[in-house]
Structure 1
Amino acid sequence: MNTRHEWTATPITRDILRGALDLERTGRGVLPHRLPAHAREQIPDGQLAMAESQPSGVRLAFRSRATAVELDVVATKRVYPGAPPRPDGVYELLVDGHLAGRASAPDGDTLTIDLASGTAHSRPGPVETLRFTGLPDDEKGIEIWLPHDETTELVALRTDAPVHAPRPSGRPVWLHHGSSISHGSNAATPTGTWPALAAALGGAELINLGFGGSALLDPFTARAVRDSAADLISVKIGINLVNADLMRLRAFGPAVHGFLDTIREGHPTTPLLVVSPILCPIHENTPGPCAPDFSAMSEGRLRFVATGDPAETAAGKLTLTVIRDELARLVGQRAATDPHLHHLDGLGLYGEADHAELPLPDGLHPDPATHRRIAERFAGLAFGDGGPFATENH
């Protein structure tokens, strides 16, 4: 292995970063963000602030003859008292699109979140060095995918050969917005989230704006989508509106229209796919809010329950069944004058038969095998022949 004085340090800039909408300079390095600064100024809660800083789909991308790469990081470890410990985030290094190494940062900043009281406090931690060695000694494309569920400050990048900006891939840029399922909850690796898998299957460059607990039709998120360069756009709407018990049916329709109107201001003819929720039995016919099942936590398991009353749907409370029907109606109405707008029923990605085979482990989120199934279904329906993202359609 090369000695330290032979390493080349490369500044971490947006030139070698993919999948982030902003890069914030910090006291230790840089922090990738998936929402721009003007949107972050309007975030009303800590949940979205945390989620958008977790770099799902964000990767360093460059070309080099390097056989060894070092990356200094500060990862934020989340601790939920009473819940099972969370696994360390995974960093994946790909060479010309193929996995060549994985690493984790075992220590870092710690964010302790008490689900019972809703309080949180943080503790600073150390910089960790990740090392990837034994790479081929030739010019190649290198990507380092950051953990999808662990906020990561990037402190330094070192290689044993010079780094060059990546070549244009020629692939379409697909921007996707959704909930924690799109963010990657319960996926094991950053390239194992369903959007990352679907992008690979569909031959697209991913920008993942899936935000855990926070796909809530926020206007600032719509403006971020509007202002981003993208060839293909999808928005997955529903589950967070139900489990946050955020709005009633009267507000839902106009909010969807406003969200789509804003996106269309910047992307008037871009293929735009509206995806309704996948199956989630606890919320199919039961409104939110959703809450942790504290009896399960006492047994060392994390599960969620719906706490609403199904009878309240008559007064306008939202369930997944209500949202699917309303989205289909709204998209059908708009598509009469917008030929580039499309609808995808989420039950086609994961429905009752899938749930019987691959149930949601915590009642809300798919496991790694289910992420792959959703990805394969989405790739076939969206990127496949006749799909709204098929090459012949854009």
Structure 2
Amino acid sequence: MNTEHDWITTPVTADILRGFLDVETTPHGLLPHRLPVRARRQIPDNQLAVAEAQPSGVRLVFRTRATTIELDTLPTKRVYRGFPAPADGVYDLLVDGRLAAQATVAGGNVRTITDMVTQSSELSEGPAGTARFTDLPARDKEVEIWLPHTEITELIALRTDAPVEPAPDSGRRVWLHHGSSISHGSNATHPTAIWPALAAARGGVELVNMGFGGSALLDPFTARAMRDTVADLISVKVGINVVNSDVMRLRAFAPAVHGFLDTIREGHPTTPLLVVSPILCPVQEDTPGPLAPDFDGGTLRFKATGDPAERAAGRLTLNVIRAELARIVERRAADDPNLHHLDGRDLYGETDYAEFPLPDEVHPDPAAHRRIAENFGRLAFGDGGPFATKPG
């Protein structure tokens, strides 16, 4: 810690956090969660347990005149055995809504994934560190610190050279979004560059991101968490994880979607609810899962391993799922005028793929995240969109 300032330490509490559903007190500090404890007790695998604790979209928000800010954290970083360690996760600091500084935290715990299929892992413990931001404007301002979207982050201490107070309610609408690793932020380089964060900024809304890498599987506990979360706008982007994990057939998929939507509607009977089908992913358009890693040529890519001939027996592909989601929404919308559908290929389709190919055949690169956000902003928040601000 730098000692040149008269530091003020502010406890990191839930009243300066946004974008979370629950917090856990740990021996080190405060750990934000994106699923409530009841749901976490029902998680069946390590993949979702890790994903929901990675704070995609979670940020500290406060007002201060501070010019220097330090945030002590204990990150848990994820590496894959046999692959180089990824760069340290990025902390984005925004001043009055604009990106003003970035920092990283070295050290921390390391979770090594030993098997990409089973997600088995080993954990080695490491030290806490500090994200430090300097030379901020010396005026009253709203500060947001967005946490690394792929690093579990225990919040230990917030230090500033001027007092901190919780930011007042922004008055903006709350957008609750659920999706897969693409919504979680895979391949985005920093937390405000994931497509839901970019789309939220464009739409002028507060984001609660329930994008869970590999885990948008229509789990009932996720639907119940969404049902019980305050929101003005809701979107559900589902399909690709159901295909690439090969967890169900068409006979089970349709009732699962209905059940998921029914549960959300128990808590949000008239809230605008947008069902979004998968973006273009050529390896799974007409080939069922499961998805498998492909290391041919020394670069990690993914390939679908199912037999396209088995579509007739109910095996799912992205095209099958898109058609089924469109059918489900059309039938339900007769009794639910606030239910809407968006084909994911309108967010990222053939022309987008030609311009911004998927580096590993599944996940978009940073430029594609921006494209998806631009298209979502136009189609959902723009004039005539389901999330457009209504006059009056």
TM over 0.5: yes
Aligned to 1:44: 44
Query: For residues 82 and 3 of structure 1, what CA distance do their matches in structure 2 show?
Result: 41
Query: For residues 305 and 46 of structure 2, what CA distance do their matches in structure 1 show?
Result: 22
After superposition, the Cα gap between the structure-2 partners of 1:233 and 1:116, relative to the gap in structure 1 and judged at 3 Å, is closer
1:325 partnered with 2:326: no
Aligned to 1:388: 386
Unaligned runs of 5+ in 1: none
Query: For residues 333 and 142 of structure 1, what CA distance do their matches in structure 2 show?
Result: 45
Aligned to 1:337: 335
Q: Specify the code of the residue in structure 2 equivalent to 1:330.
A: I
Q: Specify the code of the residue in structure 1 equivalent to 2:68.
A: A
Q: Deviation per CA, 1:29-53, whole angstroms, max 9, x where unpaired?
A: 1111000000000000000000000
Aligned to 1:353: 351
Query: For residues 115 and 313 of structure 1, what CA distance do their matches in structure 2 show?
Result: 29
2:323 counterpart SS class: helix
Query: For residues 51 and 393 of structure 1, what CA distance do their matches in structure 2 show?
Result: 38
2:105 counterpart SS class: coil
| TM-superposed deviation, 1:106 | 2.1
After superposition, the Cα gap between the structure-2 partners of 1:332 and 1:221, relative to the gap in structure 1 and judged at 3 Å, is same
| TM-superposed deviation, 1:13 | 0.9
Aligned to 1:113: 113
Aligned to 2:253: 252
1:291 partnered with 2:289: no
Q: Please tell me the root mean square deviation across aligned C-alpha atoms, in Å.
A: 1.4
Equivalent residue runs for 1:1-394 within 5 Å: 3=3, 6-115=6-115, 118=118, 119-296=120-297, 299=298, 301-392=299-390
2:375 counterpart SS class: helix
| TM-superposed deviation, 1:105 | 1.2
Query: For residues 26 and 66 of structure 2, what CA distance do their matches in structure 1 show?
Result: 27
Query: Do the aligned residues in 1 keep the contact of 2:117 with 2:292 (CA within 8 Å)?
Result: no
| TM-superposed deviation, 1:137 | 1.1
Q: Deviation per CA, 1:4-61, whole angstroms, max 9, x where unpaired?
A: 6711111111100000001100010111100000000000000000000000000000
Q: Specify the code of the residue in structure 1 equivalent to 2:69.
A: V
Query: Do the aligned residues in 2 keep the contact of 1:109 with 1:126 (CA within 8 Å)?
Result: yes
Q: Specify the code of the residue in structure 1 equivalent to 2:304.
A: A
After superposition, the Cα gap between the structure-2 partners of 1:271 and 1:393, relative to the gap in structure 1 and judged at 3 Å, is farther
Q: Specify the code of the residue in structure 1 equivalent to 2:56.
A: S
| TM-superposed deviation, 1:84 | 3.8
After superposition, the Cα gap between the structure-2 partners of 1:116 and 1:380, relative to the gap in structure 1 and judged at 3 Å, is closer
| TM-superposed deviation, 1:138 | 1.1
Segments of 4+ moved more than 6 angstroms = none
TM-score by length of 1: 0.97
Query: Do the aligned residues in 2 keep the contact of 1:83 with 1:302 (CA within 8 Å)?
Result: no
Query: For residues 336 and 223 of structure 2, what CA distance do their matches in structure 1 show?
Result: 18
| TM-superposed deviation, 1:179 | 0.2
Query: For residues 354 and 155 of structure 1, what CA distance do their matches in structure 2 show?
Result: 42
| TM-superposed deviation, 1:287 | 0.4
Q: Specify the code of the residue in structure 1 equivalent to 2:16.
A: I
1:285 counterpart SS class: coil
| TM-superposed deviation, 1:348 | 0.3
Range with greater deviation from structure 2 (246-255 or 80-89): 80-89
Query: Do the aligned residues in 1 keep the contact of 2:199 with 2:377 (CA within 8 Å)?
Result: yes
Query: For residues 350 and 199 of structure 1, what CA distance do their matches in structure 2 show?
Result: 18
Query: Do the aligned residues in 1 keep the contact of 2:5 with 2:161 (CA within 8 Å)?
Result: no
Query: For residues 87 and 295 of structure 1, what CA distance do their matches in structure 2 show?
Result: 23
| TM-superposed deviation, 1:115 | 2.6
Q: Deviation per CA, 1:186-238, whole angstroms, max 9, x where unpaired?
A: 00110000000000000010000000000000000000000000000000010
Range with greater deviation from structure 2 (77-86 or 334-343): 77-86
1:187 counterpart SS class: coil
Q: Deviation per CA, 1:152-189, whole angstroms, max 9, x where unpaired?
A: 11111111111111022111000000000000000011
Query: For residues 141 and 5 of structure 2, what CA distance do their matches in structure 1 show?
Result: 23
Query: For residues 361 and 115 of structure 2, what CA distance do their matches in structure 1 show?
Result: 17
Query: Do the aligned residues in 1 keep the contact of 2:71 with 2:131 (CA within 8 Å)?
Result: yes
Q: Deviation per CA, 1:354-374, whole angstroms, max 9, x where unpaired?
A: 111111000110000000000
- Percent of aligned pairs with the same amino acid: 70
| TM-superposed deviation, 1:117 | 7.0
Q: Deviation per CA, 1:114-157, whole angstroms, max 9, x where unpaired?
A: 23573311011001011101111111100000001111111111
Q: Specify the code of the residue in structure 1 equivalent to 2:170.
A: S
After superposition, the Cα gap between the structure-2 partners of 1:161 and 1:327, relative to the gap in structure 1 and judged at 3 Å, is same
Query: For residues 391 and 25 of structure 2, what CA distance do their matches in structure 1 show?
Result: 40
2:253 counterpart SS class: helix
1:391 counterpart SS class: coil
Query: For residues 320 and 189 of structure 2, what CA distance do their matches in structure 1 show?
Result: 32
| TM-superposed deviation, 1:88 | 1.3
After superposition, the Cα gap between the structure-2 partners of 1:48 and 1:116, relative to the gap in structure 1 and judged at 3 Å, is closer
Unaligned runs of 5+ in 2: none
